[in-house]
Amino acid sequence: MATDSPDGIDADGGRSAAADRPRRATLADVASRAGVSAVTVSRALRRPHLVSDTLRRRIESAVGELAYIPNQMASALASAQTDTIGVVVPSLTNGVFADYLRAIHDVFVPQGIQVLVLITRYSPEEEEKAIATLLGRHPEGMIVAGIDQTDHARRLLEHAGIPVVQTMEMGDDPIDINIGMSQVAAGYDATRFLLGLGHRRIGLVEARVDARARRRREGYQRAMREAGIDTADLVASTTLRSTVKLGGELLEQLLAHPPGLDAVFCCNDDLALGVLFACQRHKIRVPDDLSILGFNDLEFAGSAYPALSSVATPRHEMGKRAAEAILQIIRAPKRRPAETRIDLGFRINERESTRRR
C-alpha cells in the first residue's frame, strides 16, 4: 500500500493526494496578489474605511480569487476585538429556542457581529465544556440559557472579563445580567388559573425534567398544596426527551389512577398536543371532560383543534434584550445598563382547550 511522505511523494514515487490539495491562502498571498504590503491588507480587511476605494476593491478581488479566510484568532490577539458573541442553549431542535436565537441574530448580525452557538443537550457538564470552548474563542460577550451553571462554569464566566447575560429564568445571584422570567411563578399561576376555573384534580405532565421544568413543578405543587389537594397520583413525569407521542403516553399514566381527572397542566406545548390527541382517541371531550393547558405558547398551540390554552413565555424578547444589553456594553463600556435583573414576566393565553366547570 502506498503511503504519503512529508515531501508529498508517495512510496511508489508519485505525488500523494495530500500534495494535490490546494494550500490555504495566507495574508501574504493576498498581499502579493494585490501588489501591496501585508499590513495594508490587514488594515483594509479590519478597517476598510482607512484605505481608498480603488485599493479596497483590489484587495477584495484578491481575497475572492484566493478564497482567503482571515485568521480571526490572530486578529483578536492583536486588537482584543473579535466581533463575536458566544451563546449557549440546551437544544437547537426545541422550538422554544428558535425565536430566542432569531432575536439574538437580528440584533448582532446587522452590527457586523457574528453569533457562535453551542448546545448542551440539557447537561450541566456539557454546558461547562461549551462555555469553556466559547471563552477560548475570546468572544466579546456571552449569553447563556438558564441560571444553573456548575461552580466551575460560573467561575469561568465571572472571570471572563466580558458581559454575561443569563436568560430564560430569574435567579437571586446573577453572574452579571439576568433577563428572564420566574419559572416557579409561571407554574404557580398556571395551576391557580386551572383552579380558578373550578378544576380540582389537576394532573401535571412533564418530560426531560431540567431545572426550569422542576421549578414549574414547584409552582404547581405549591398552588395545589395551598388548595388542600394531594398530588401523589397526579404527576406523570419522565426524563425522556419531550415529544408529542410522549404526551399521550403520560396521559395514559394519569388515566390509570383513580378517576376524576378534570384538567392537565403540561410543561410544554408538545406534550399538550400529545395529550389532546390521546383525548381524541379515547373520546374524552376537550374541554368538557378535560381541560388542557400547555406551556410556551408555540405557534401550533393556537392552530390546534380545539386551540390549546398555553402559558406564553417572552423568549423572543429575552433574546432581544440580552443582545441589546451586551451591544450597549461593548459599544460604550462606561454606559452599562442600569438594571441588571429584568423580569419580563409571562401571560396565560386562554383558548378553547380550557373551560370553567
110 DSSP assignment: G
Angle at 337 between CA 335 and CA 338, to 5 degrees: 105
Strands (E), the chain: 84-89, 114-119, 142-145, 164-167, 177-180, 202-207, 235-238, 263-266, 291-296, 309-312, 341-343, 347-349
The helix (run of H) or strand (run of E) holding residue 81 is none
Quote the pTM value: 0.80
Confidence at 12, pLDDT banded by 50, 70, 90: low
Q: What is the DSSP string of 82-98?
A: --EEEEEES-SSSTHHH
Q: In what order do the strands lie in the sheet with 309-312?
A: 235-238, 202-207, 263-266, 291-296, 309-312, 347-349
Confidence at 5, pLDDT banded by 50, 70, 90: very low
Mean pLDDT of all residues belonging to the chain = 91
The answer to whether residue 80 scores a pLDDT higher than 80 is: no
Query: What's the rounded mean pLDDT across residues 113-124?
Result: 96
Q: Which domains does the chain have, with CATH numbers?
A: 17-70 (1.10.260.40), 82-181+316-344 (3.40.50.2300), 183-312 (3.40.50.2300)
The answer to whether residue 3 scores a pLDDT higher than 50 is: no
Distance, CA of 39 to CA of 50 (rounded, Å): 12
Distance, CA of 118 to CA of 139 (rounded, Å): 13
Confidence at 196, pLDDT banded by 50, 70, 90: very high
Distance, CA of 232 to CA of 33 (rounded, Å): 74
Question: Residue 292 phi/psi, 5° resolution?
Answer: -125, 130
State pLDDT tens for residues 285-326: 999 999 999 999 999 999 999 999 999 999 999 999 999 999
By residue count, the chain amounts to 357
Give the pLDDT of residue 13: 54
State pLDDT tens for residues 136-186: 999 999 999 999 999 999 999 999 999 999 999 999 999 999 999 999 999
